[in-house]
Chain A
């Protein structure tokens, strides 16, 4: 590959990884509190269509992103009410949420198909945007990409450096113990689930407002499931989740560039490669069982009865 191609290739990788970073970070926090929400794909789509609609109506990118987060939170709230309030099965409800989100977003988006939008504005930052190489690579993006750069740091700081994060992890590891000490287990799980919904909604907004600036049905095309898998294979560690998102996005994009370059590898193999490589790499770097046990939320997916 000639040198001129490095920059555009890397730029495309960043845009491909960004929605995965948002959705996976949200799901990471949700799962750390002991809630398994398989509805990421549905929340993403609901966020994508709502964000797009909000931008079409108000012409404000900020309102679009906020509306997408609100829509993600609203769908997450339905999920939280069913599994935390009514003690429904998290797996079944999460799957239902995905189906619900696919259908709901298609319904809401009926009038949005075929409308064009220019895309989120690119923000140039003072000084750093003018740096050679790094400037065009890292600092010529829209606000959501910058946010995705700092999100893993914020999540890691919150989970491991704050008291609130400690409590959230405690709730995920042993809800009975956390309850016995007096922490409001259900309320904390509600908040973690809502945060997951907001981030999935934002991932959706990135899809419809920046990545492919339009609304078409089912446009997430399975990215919610990839985000879910990343969290598990990265053994619930924020930086590894981000690394996994970039690894997956990176190989997906590299194989497309390699094909355009004329490298003769079966394209079916190339398409499989991101999945295979991401799983293998994350499993290899995270194969220490004691570390997995230490990081995996012990109560994930288990219902909690406050009376018990």
Chain B
């Protein structure tokens, strides 16, 4: 019997720990604004989730005692997401950020049930009176690194480690390829899909497969530093994803596209405090500061830096659009004639490759 009592006590402790882990706090006095964050990966991924968590910390730094932030990390995009979001909504949070595309339906559903709580969903398209969407035009950053890759590839083959064949990722591949071929018309992009946002081992293996087949520059749209690290070990180059990953690949990293959510999260939290929050749809790029280019690595010569800076500047001033015509698809047809530019709607639904990407896009 002694054992059983001990077990019960253990179970109780474990349950209590879990509850506090999920962030089920008692409701607080009203002057404290509670902001919740739902992450798809671990905060220590050094990539996507890491940057969102940096934004959360920026909110805490800005408002101090007036806010209380909660986060739940590594939330599965399946049914579990709805439970976690509801838990945050029902435990007194005023504002909840859900930071992965796969949380869209769960966020929309919970938002309907909690009309007083404000929700913000990253990279989705479903909105409501209390549900905003926000995303960054990462393809602008991809155009800048594509320019660098075009200048620096010697084999003319650039490897691209993809996560899932969704428009967001396809758009990045296309923006990268278009910019690359502007400076190096013969270079091609080979894509390997790992069908995961985060699996360091397999991401690294994908990079090995690409390097073994001639790629001397590795770009990635997965969240861990593993592909870049493989590039370092194999003596080729690559680009960091979501955050500056030079610590993992001091020689290999040419630069990185850095997500910066800090000011957006601060502004939206302030709007909730002021009572001025409205449902919006934000899609910020280089100009808004949401997309940053990390300091260049030593392997990027001065003329290339100057050209990449010029591309970034032209994009931020609106002088250059990464998807302005003429754009040719894989079949060689001109899909965007000279003088026109793809609209945001067309970009959001992009499901075709431009010329210069090898292989077929998985449907």
Contacts and interface: CB of A to CB of B under 8 A. Distances in A.
Contacts of B159: 260
B2 to A, nearest CB: 10
B181 to A, nearest CB: 18
B187 to A, nearest CB: 16
B322 interface: no
Interface string A199-230: 00000000100011110111111110000000
A115 to B, nearest CB: 7
Nearest to A87: B3
B349 interface: no
Contact of B213 (A257, A264, A271): A257
A9 B212 contact: yes
Interface string B1-17: 00100110000001000
Contacts of B249: 116
Contacts of B65: none
A259 interface: yes
A264 B194 contact: no
B212 A267 contact: no
A42 to B, nearest CB: 14
A12 B44 contact: no
A268 B205 contact: no
Contacts of B359: 259, 262, 264
A262 to B, nearest CB: 5
A3 interface: no
Given A110-B44, A262-B358, A221 B199 contact: yes
A252 to B, nearest CB: 7
B43 interface: yes
Given A259-B209, A261-B213, A252 B200 contact: no
A153 interface: no
A114 B363 contact: no
A216 B362 contact: no
Interface stretch (B77-85, B112-120, B223-231, B273-281): B223-231
A253 B201 CA distance: 11
Given A86-B6, A216-B46, A216-B225, A260 B248 contact: no
A257 to B, nearest CB: 4
Contact of A116 (B3, B193, B195, B247): B247
B45 A267 contact: no
Nearest to A221: B199
Interface in A70-124: 86-88, 96, 102-103, 106, 109-110, 113-116, 119
Contacts of B362: 266-268
A221 B196 contact: yes
B162 to A, nearest CB: 8
A212 B208 CA distance: 12
Given A217-B42, A252-B205, A260-B210, A116 B248 contact: yes
Contact of A218 (B74, B205, B248, B360): B74
Contacts of A96: 14
A207 B209 contact: no
- Looking at B41, B46, B196, B209, the one whose CB has the most chain A CB atoms below 10 A away is B209
A8 interface: yes
Interface residues of B, number: 49
Interface in B315-342: none
A188 interface: no
Contacts of B195: 267-268, 271
A169 to B, nearest CB: 28
Contacts of A212: 200-201, 204, 224, 226, 229
Contacts, number: 133
Contacts of A220: 201
Contacts of A284: none
B190 interface: yes
B209 A253 contact: yes
B50 to A, nearest CB: 8
A280 to B, nearest CB: 20
A9 B360 CA distance: 22
B128 interface: no
Given A216-B200, A252-B202, A264 B248 contact: no
A256 interface: yes
A5 interface: yes
Contacts of A114: 46, 247-248
A217 B45 contact: yes
Nearest to B3: A86
Given A114-B247, A212-B229, A8 B45 contact: no
Interface in A256-297: 256-257, 259-262, 264, 266-268, 270-271
Contact of B200 (A5, A219, A253, A260): A219
B284 interface: no
A262 B6 CA distance: 59
Contacts of A213: 229, 233
Nearest to A261: B213
Contacts of A271: 193-196
A211 B201 contact: yes
A227 B155 CA distance: 39
B201 A106 contact: no
Interface in B17-46: 21, 41-46
21 contacts: A16-B201, A106-B44, A113-B46, A114-B247, A211-B204, A212-B200, A212-B204, A216-B45, A217-B74, A219-B201, A221-B200, A253-B209, A256-B194, A256-B206, A256-B209, A259-B206, A260-B213, A266-B363, A267-B362, A268-B362, A271-B195
Interface of B: 3, 6-7, 14, 21, 41-46, 74, 159, 165, 190-196, 198-202, 204-206, 208-210, 212-213, 215, 224-226, 229, 233, 247-250, 358-360, 362-363
Interface of A: 5, 8-9, 12, 15-16, 19, 86-88, 96, 102-103, 106, 109-110, 113-116, 119, 207, 211-214, 216-223, 252-253, 256-257, 259-262, 264, 266-268, 270-271
10 tightest Cβ-Cβ pairs between the two chains A and B:
A217-B42, A267-B193, A217-B44, A271-B195, A221-B199, A8-B212, A256-B209, A212-B200, A114-B247, A264-B360
